[in-house]
Structure 1
């Protein structure tokens, strides 16, 4: 068996097979080198800090492809400026390799305007700041919604909630300053319902009750009565009630008089005015302090007359029946009776 293995014919066939295999491998690598441009590499050109349009032109001239991606907007750099390149500049790549370009966007990423209409202005400003929008001017406008946001303006134009604008954009906010006072009520009698509604809105009032005589809802009916009356003064936002009919106000004179008796009350000024007199108010004495007793006036003494002196008499002499007692020559002093006093009050 070994003898047959080392036969020259077998060895020849083995060498031919090995040569064919090596040739196939060599041809395969040569084909791969040709197909992949092995050994033919191109250095990545320097396109950092250039505009994306110039960078794309340089890469195309070098036989390289490109992919553009945007980073977060940075105001320190120019819009559409190339910030980074991958692979980095100077790296050797094959022809046709895609180079990634990191570009600064034109502006901040857009954000949606939050819905802050009819919200309190303080809360609305906080919400706008949270999404990255800056409040520029605060414009006050007469409205019954005091301190509420009425509109949002961007570059002078009103925008709706949900509109996307660049982040950190400056927006102006229109805020209600409260209703106007003492506005003259317009005269809408003789107008159609449609015309009356438009005139009432222009004069900053609201349309209240609209009573159609026929029970319908036709805006072409003519207004024959209104409350409040034309020329009265009301505050902004007050309602004006309307009565409408297909007839003219002249044809509804009787009904107008009935409405006047209800809504046009007259004040009778013929009665004399009522006079009020003020009653003095004396303070009550304190409860704990005793009330002082009334002081009577001093008594006045009447001078004695001669008749009064005579009525009193003189002292009688003392008499003795006993003989042993001294003689009745000695007298005792007379004592005066108390005199009556007359008091004058």
Structure 2
């Protein structure tokens, strides 16, 4: 039988049918195996574990067919001690069954850190040392002295705190500073458009204190407060505005950009964030 004759024969078509059937079956089995292996279509939202105990986490994870691992601990006031403070992936994120969720638990005992020796250091260096130690700058209290912006004392809750003594991480240490023997004044920084933490750094850097800060009705959650920016300050910024060292600046915060002054020197960032343009001649303190 010639090849052309074979191609026209029933035997050829029978073998071709067998080959197609085998290939189709193999493809179907492969797709079924791949579907099972990847759990296609079985992704679900990650539960919210924040604020739950480990026993509660275990029950929720089992019900959702997820695994979890506690990878670290922190100390925070946002949740009760011993409860979950953070998670990754975040609640609502779509994952497949069997996915491992990383958790951070709120420590039962706060982390204690040593207080650095700040005496006789300039303010900027003292601030850097405090922050590196896991502490925060509290009030800046000025008194007459031959030095200016040099640390004369360090206090916690109104009492002197010695170097190398320990405080809870995140505690605020008040600094007693020299203001010179004359009535030295400092320029009022422009804070409109800044997020709170950056504004706070600028205030301290100007040898001033953060006064009362007020959130408007656009700020409800912790996430809102993290996104909030300053739309008003008192004393207000002007090129010639000055105040005494240690004075307080009061702040008003919002997430509503329409509250920003029309004539403010603000620019909108690429991601929609609001950032003040730096003055052309910034004041060095």
Q: TM-score band (shorter)?
A: 0.3 to 0.5
Higher Cα Rg: structure 1 or 2? 1
Q: Which has the higher strand share?
A: 2
Relative to the length of structure 1, the TM-score reads 0.33
Relative to the length of structure 2, the TM-score reads 0.38
